[in-house]
Amino acid sequence: MTINTNQERKKIFPFTAIIGQEEMKLALILNVIDPKIGGVMIMGDRGTGKSTTIRALADLLPEIEVVTGDIYNCSPDEIYKQDNEKNVNNSNLNISHIKIPMVELPLGATEDRVCGTIDIEKALFEGIKSFEPGLLAKANRGILYVDEVNLLDDHLVDILLDAAASGWNIVEREGISIKHPSNFVLVGSGNPEEGELRPQLLDRFGLHAEIKTVKDPLLRVKIVEERSLFEENYQNYIQSYQQEQEKIRQKIVKAQKNLSKVQISNSLQLKISELCSVLDIDGLRGDIVINRASKALASYEERYNVNINDLERICILCLRHRLKKDPLETIDSGKKIQQAFEKIFK
């Protein structure tokens, strides 16, 4: 039995109508195609459309199939795999289709709110120890967005990164041990003027996008005009971008399906490692993320082989937050990576 849930269209700005900020949009799309890239940190000026773009992407993505009533948004196949010892028949499950979950984590959230805790009401009135799911459960198979992540407690950031990397959330509370799936794309945003994340945490984000205020007067006028049209009649405005939205949606779906078929040559892999070595990148996360992101980009461009152009487009996104900080250095991190890339690849 299949149930389609037709939710009322929310007032969300179309992803394809967003002007500029190509680096941020590319980073988000690549993470949606391959969530194992490890999320994206978006740093930039206030009022540059960070939150608008992230909500727009979540609205753009196709609906997912879930088991009706499942608190973790699990698909029928996931339920079947987890409960196969109980001989569950997934053909008898009620199925719903929902929009990709988009969970926003408030800065004041506690660890219990994030991970889940004991259901106090059941404990008091029924004497039963029961688990009350947190935000990590709601974000499963979706996007978890933390605005001003650089102001969030480091301990909570660590929990989010661990769950995003492992795909599981493990809770030990008052004699209860719970393990549930927690696969999500972690997106953090912030203003660098308000402080940076510790390097140890920053390194664990897959990509790092920097966005700046648009300086071109013509583009600024265009952005203001588009926003005014959206506010005046958002239903007509969304309708006018429906075709473009569907085109991007189908490209993402196709890229997700073809991702496993994309190959990268040994010679390019060697050059990627040489680039990370020349830039003195600690650890191997940089190498791994470049490999994954380049494959996701090639798949999005409907190709089965990674080329040098793919690597050039994503290497700064993958490495700028992994460079060692030198207060005496005047060169921008992006330019430093670009210079090293040209030296090695060209």
Catalytic residues, by residue number, are: 285
Max CA pair span of the chain: 70
Task: Return the axis-axis angle of helices 242-258 and 22-33, rounded to nearest 10°.
Answer: 50
The amino acid that residue 344 corresponds to is: I
Cβ contacts of residue 1 below 8 Å, gap of 6+?
94, 95
- Nearest Cα to 137, choosing from 183, 188, 205, 190? 183
301-310 LR contacts (CB < 8 Å, sep 24+): 302/251, 302/254, 302/255, 302/258, 303/262, 304/258, 304/261, 304/262, 304/263, 305/262, 305/263, 305/264, 305/265, 306/262, 306/263, 306/264, 306/265, 306/268, 308/268, 308/345, 308/346
